[in-house]
Structure 1
Amino acid sequence: MTTSPPAAPVPAAASVPAARPAAPLGRALCAMITPFARSGALDLDGAQRLATHLVTNGCDGLVLSGTTGESPTTTDAEKSDLVRAVREAVGDRAKVITGIGTPDTRHSTDLALEAEKAGADGLLVVSPYYSRPPQDAIEAHVREIADTCELPLMVYDIPARTGTRIEPETILRLSEHPRIVAVKDCSHDFLGAQKVLARTDLAYYAGCDEHNLALYAVGGTGYVSTVANVIPNHLRAVLDAFDAGDTARAARLQQQATPLIEAIMAAGLPGTVTAKALLNALTLPAGPVRRPLQPAGRGATDELLSLHDALTST
């Protein structure tokens, strides 16, 4: 009786994943808070110190004047001054992206030109809010901004705040523009994100910290993180572990950060308020929030500090 030869052994999985596409604006991006002095004035010295701290501890990109940066309550001049100060502080060690999204296309294009003059490396553009334009109007708005200057553009999809989703089909059309290179995804539509990832070369960034590893694992570029203000090195370690092929460690690190992520982002207070409360408790530059936001209470701050200390002591 003839016997079949033994099956060939299955090759061991490679220990290091295949190389990722280039990250045009970095991988580990912090949605940086905007430090203010006790008087409420812009604290440019504090912004430089915080930016230096974040880059030293693992951030290769800083996103200024976004949701976390209190962009609705900073002036156009303050936005430009902030870009200049942070650019001076970090030099070429990190990309500097700035939010220029407003409900007014003309205002947004003016901000884009000022950001380019101030030394930004890229623009963050949110869907126009309050007026809730249809998809063709959103597309025209973003394209007009992209045509205004030479900076690359990151589309910011956060319908919970703007009231309007930037639909995947709209993003697919926008991806044809040579300067529209990235998406910050706060849509909570993981399927939609994967559909766009599969059909474009856009750099996709998780904008919700609970999705940092999940989106990265299916081909995302990295994250734009509010929580990175307070644990920049820990969140960077998640990506580094995954890139090294240690997916179990990456998952463990992401899970360890979950209680703090929840406390900062999903405990009933805006992420700006909680991030600034914890930064102040850690004696890092932050200062007050601007009205209409109100500071976190003592109980919330103590809970944040306890969770932070528990995470960083492991």
Structure 2
Amino acid sequence: MTAAFAVIAFTNDPNVGPVARAAAKRGQNITQAVEAYRVARNLNDPVLQRYVKWMVNISTGDWGLSYSTGQPVLTAIRNSMKYTLFYLVPSVAIATVMGISFGLFSAFRQHSFSDRLVTAVAYLGLGIPNFWLATVLFSATVMEHQTIQFPKLPLESSLLWSFDFTLLYGFVPWIDFNTTQAFFTLPIIVLTTALLAGQLRYTRSESLEYMDMEFVKIARAKGAGPFRVARHVLRNAAIPLLSLFLTEMLSVLVLGILVIEEVFNIPGFGSLMLRAVGARDMPLILGVTMVVAFIGIVGNFLQDVAYTVLDPRVGSETD
């Protein structure tokens, strides 16, 4: 957070130029216009004073007002996050279930044709850039329906399909389904592809380390079926898989949603981050940075808690 503040505070403000040009067009005094702009954003205060004031406000729940949206920062983040969660949550759920299932299936059939096929699909998914896949899918859909020109798609458009997602998301109270409908189908496909490839590869790799373990041989000797053996393998591989999963989720939050929301023009958290940086909106930049840092901290905490649940020996060793 301090680094984010320093980057903004100690670099030139690109908004000064547009302010000066606007003042010149209106025949106003350029110096006074720039000075008024700096005063409105408290940029004339000493950097240390601004930093201390911001630290106090952020600690007391006052994240300030966004210059670019005119809303309180917390309100802007909350309004944007609901759109991101709308496609992020189903993508994570689908990718986790399918990635673990196909990863175990591939590990149990090592060196078979199905194993090679699953591995090839995983590496293909990892090798395809999100922005390329999103652009291709979006362009193909737009060309088919001939409703709107790439790359802009308003959220109010029912471009993609006539299928009403209320059937699947009727329990979500904060989305206006009349304006969203099936708009999130393609983002879910793009994000699921990236997450699924990673989960599949990680699950296969970690499961293979336990396939020749003594407990697997004993379980098979006792006549345990594939599902029971897979459950034992997955339980032992759960801790490293959990670590990889949380790490990848944070990278997806920071990078993946930026690409998806830029291509599909979704007013989500990624778009809010881009808007904050483009407008040099200091309160909003620090607010979204705070959210990312908070998610990282909470994710690490939940990871430690999950370790003790999955393997009680971790908790005893810590004690």
**TM-score, normalisation: structure 1:** 0.28
Please say which structure displays the higher CA radius of gyration: 2
Higher strand share: 1
Give the structure-2-normalised TM-score: 0.27
Q: Which of the pair is proportionally richer in helix? A: 2
